[in-house]
Chain A
Amino acid sequence: MAAMLQSFGVSSASVAFSDHSAKLSVRSLPVIRSEARSISCPTNGTRCTRKITTKAVAVENPASAASKPGHELLLFEALREGLEEEMERDPRVCVMGEDVGHYGGSYKVTKGLADKYGDLRVLDTPIAENSFTGMAIGAAMTGLRPIIEGMNMGFLLLAFNQISDNCGMLHYTSGGQFTIPTVIRGPGGVGRQLGAEHSQRLESYFQSIPGIQMVACSTPYNAKGLMKAAIRSENPVVLFEHVLLYNLKERIPDEEYVLSLEEAEMVRPGEHVTILTYSRMRYHVMQAAKTLVNKGFDPEVIDIRSLKPFDLYTIGNSVKKTHRVVIVEECMRTGGIGASLTAAINENFHDYLDAPIVCLSSQDVPTPYAGTLEEWTVVQPAQIVAAVEQLCQ
Chain B
Amino acid sequence: MACSATPKIVHGPLPTNSLRSAEKSDSSCKFMGPSSFFGSKSLNKKLFSVNKAVSSVGHRSAAVVAVSSDVVKEKKLKSSSSLSNLLITREEGLVLYEDMILGRAFEDMCAQMYYRGKMFGFVHLYNGQEAVSTGFIKLLKKEDCVVSTYRDHVHALSKGVPARQVMSELFGKTTGCCRGQGGSMHMFSKEHNVLGGFAFIGEGIPVATGAAFTSKYKREVFKEDCDEVTLAFFGDGTCNNGQFFECLNMAALWKLPIVFVVENNLWAIGMSHLRSTSDPEIWKKGPAFGMPGVHVDGMDVLKVREVAKEAVGRARRGEGPTLVECETYRFRGHSLADPDELRDPAEKAHYATRDPIAALKKYILENNLASEADLKAIEKKIDEELEEAVEFAEESPVPARSQLLENVFADPKGFGIGPDGRYRCEDPKFTEGTAQV
Chain A contacts to B: CB under 8 angstroms = 91, 94, 118, 120-121, 125-126, 128, 130-144, 161-162, 165-166, 170-181, 210-211, 213, 233-235, 261-263, 306, 308-314, 316, 348-349
Which of B178, B209, B217 has the most CB atoms of chain A within a 10 A radius of its CB? B217
Tell me the minimal C-beta distance from A163 to chain B in angstroms: 11
Q: Known contacts A134-B209, A313-B418: does B176 contact A175 (CB below 8 Å)?
A: yes
Q: How far is the CA of A137 from the CA of B410 in the complex (A)?
A: 14
Partner of A171, one of B198, B208, B409: B409
Chain B residues lying within 8 Å of A165, measured Cβ to Cβ, are: 198-200, 203
B220 in contact with A120 (CB, 8 Å): yes
Number of interface residues of B (CB under 8 A): 63
Residue B55 at the chain A interface, CB threshold 8 Å:
no
Residue B221 at the chain A interface, CB threshold 8 Å:
yes
Residue of B nearest to A142 (CB): B214
Chain B residues lying within 8 Å of A316, measured Cβ to Cβ, are: 419
Q: How far is the CA of A126 from the CA of B249 in the complex (A)?
A: 9
Partner of B250, one of A128, A170, A174, A308: A128
Q: Known contacts A306-B416, A313-B417: does B190 contact A161 (CB below 8 Å)?
A: no
Within 8 A of A (CB), among B200-248: 200, 203, 205-218, 220-222, 242-243, 246-247
From B117-125, B181-189, B295-303, give the one contacting chain A. Answer: B181-189
Q: How far is the CA of A287 from the CA of B158 in the complex (A)?
A: 64
Residue of B nearest to A347 (CB): B436
B414 in contact with A309 (CB, 8 Å): yes
As a 0/1 sequence over residues 403 to 422 of chain B, the CB contacts with chain A under 8 angstroms (1 = contact) are: 00011111101111111110
A139 in contact with B190 (CB, 8 Å): no
A125 in contact with B195 (CB, 8 Å): no
Residue B31 at the chain A interface, CB threshold 8 Å:
no
A210 in contact with B188 (CB, 8 Å): no
Chain B residues lying within 8 Å of A94, measured Cβ to Cβ, are: 217, 221
B188 in contact with A134 (CB, 8 Å): no
B411 in contact with A263 (CB, 8 Å): no
B221 in contact with A91 (CB, 8 Å): yes
Chain A residues lying within 8 Å of B176, measured Cβ to Cβ, are: 175
User: What are 25 sample pairs from A and B whose C-beta atoms fall under 8 A apart?
Assistant: A120-B217, A120-B220, A121-B217, A125-B250, A126-B246, A128-B246, A130-B243, A131-B206, A131-B250, A138-B206, A140-B210, A141-B210, A166-B203, A170-B196, A172-B408, A173-B178, A173-B186, A174-B190, A174-B196, A175-B181, A178-B188, A211-B414, A312-B419, A316-B419, A349-B419
Chain A residues lying within 8 Å of B410, measured Cβ to Cβ, are: 171, 176, 179-181, 234-235
Q: How far is the CA of A121 from the CA of B197 in the complex (A)?
A: 28
Residue of B nearest to A232 (CB): B411
Which of B177, B178, B246 has the most CB atoms of chain A within a 10 A radius of its CB? B246
Question: Closest 4 A-B residue pairs measured CB to CB?
Answer: A138-B210, A134-B206, A309-B416, A175-B178
Residue B361 at the chain A interface, CB threshold 8 Å:
no
Residue of A nearest to B415 (CB): A309
Chain A residues lying within 8 Å of B180, measured Cβ to Cβ, are: 175
B407 in contact with A176 (CB, 8 Å): yes
Q: How far is the CA of A170 from the CA of B408 in the complex (A)?
A: 9
Chain A residues lying within 8 Å of B177, measured Cβ to Cβ, are: 175
Tell me the minimal C-beta distance from A23 to chain B in angstroms: 13
Chain A residues lying within 8 Å of B157, measured Cβ to Cβ, are: none
Tell me the minimal C-beta distance from A309 to chain B in angstroms: 3
Q: How far is the CA of A64 from the CA of B246 in the complex (A)?
A: 55
Partner of B242, one of A130, A139, A170: A130
Residue of A nearest to B416 (CB): A309
Q: Known contacts A134-B207, A262-B423, A312-B418: does B178 contact A177 (CB below 8 Å)?
A: yes
Chain A residues lying within 8 Å of B20, measured Cβ to Cβ, are: none
A138 in contact with B414 (CB, 8 Å): no
A211 in contact with B408 (CB, 8 Å): yes
Q: How many A-B residue pairs have CB under 8 A?
A: 192
Chain A residues lying within 8 Å of B407, measured Cβ to Cβ, are: 171-172, 174-176
Chain A residues lying within 8 Å of B413, measured Cβ to Cβ, are: 261-262
Chain A residues lying within 8 Å of B409, measured Cβ to Cβ, are: 171, 211, 213, 234-235
Residue of B nearest to A158 (CB): B242
Chain B residues lying within 8 Å of A141, measured Cβ to Cβ, are: 195, 207, 210-211
Chain B residues lying within 8 Å of A310, measured Cβ to Cβ, are: 416
Tell me the minimal C-beta distance from B33 to chain A in angstroms: 30
Residue of B nearest to A130 (CB): B243
Inter-chain pairs besides A91-B221, A121-B217, 17 sampled, C-beta below 8 Å: A120-B221, A121-B221, A131-B209, A138-B147, A138-B211, A166-B207, A171-B410, A173-B196, A175-B178, A175-B407, A210-B408, A233-B411, A261-B413, A262-B413, A311-B416, A313-B417, A313-B420
Chain B residues lying within 8 Å of A349, measured Cβ to Cβ, are: 419
B246 in contact with A130 (CB, 8 Å): yes
B417 in contact with A173 (CB, 8 Å): no
Tell me the minimal C-beta distance from A167 to chain B in angstroms: 11
B416 in contact with A312 (CB, 8 Å): yes
B217 in contact with A144 (CB, 8 Å): yes
A262 in contact with B189 (CB, 8 Å): no
Q: How far is the CA of A94 from the CA of B217 in the complex (A)?
A: 10
Tell me the minimal C-beta distance from B198 to chain A in angstroms: 7
Chain B residues lying within 8 Å of A314, measured Cβ to Cβ, are: 417
B216 in contact with A120 (CB, 8 Å): yes
Residue B253 at the chain A interface, CB threshold 8 Å:
yes
Q: How far is the CA of A112 from the CA of B183 in the complex (A)?
A: 45
Residue B179 at the chain A interface, CB threshold 8 Å:
yes
Residue B282 at the chain A interface, CB threshold 8 Å:
no
Residue B145 at the chain A interface, CB threshold 8 Å:
yes
A135 in contact with B213 (CB, 8 Å): yes
B186 in contact with A130 (CB, 8 Å): no
A137 in contact with B419 (CB, 8 Å): no
Q: How far is the CA of A139 from the CA of B210 in the complex (A)?
A: 4
Partner of B246, one of A131, A166, A235: A131
Tell me the minimal C-beta distance from B149 to chain A in angstroms: 13
Which of A118, A172, A234, A349 has the most CB atoms of chain B within a 10 A radius of its CB? A172
Tell me the minimal C-beta distance from B232 to chain A in angstroms: 10
Q: How far is the CA of A91 from the CA of B199 in the complex (A)?
A: 33
Chain B residues lying within 8 Å of A308, measured Cβ to Cβ, are: 416
Chain B residues lying within 8 Å of A235, measured Cβ to Cβ, are: 409-411, 414
Tell me the minimal C-beta distance from B424 to chain A in angstroms: 8
Chain B residues lying within 8 Å of A139, measured Cβ to Cβ, are: 210-211, 213-214, 217
Q: Known contacts A126-B250, A136-B210, A139-B217: does B182 contact A175 (CB below 8 Å)?
A: yes
Q: How far is the CA of A314 from the CA of B420 in the complex (A)?
A: 10
As a 0/1 sequence over residues 241 to 277 of chain B, the CB contacts with chain A under 8 angstroms (1 = contact) are: 0110011011001000000000000000000000000
Chain A residues lying within 8 Å of B416, measured Cβ to Cβ, are: 262, 306, 308-312
Residue of B nearest to A140 (CB): B210
Q: How far is the CA of A120 from the CA of B409 in the complex (A)?
A: 28
Q: Known contacts A135-B210, A166-B203: does B178 contact A309 (CB below 8 Å)?
A: no
Residue of B nearest to A136 (CB): B210
Q: How far is the CA of A222 from the CA of B410 in the complex (A)?
A: 24
A309 in contact with B417 (CB, 8 Å): yes
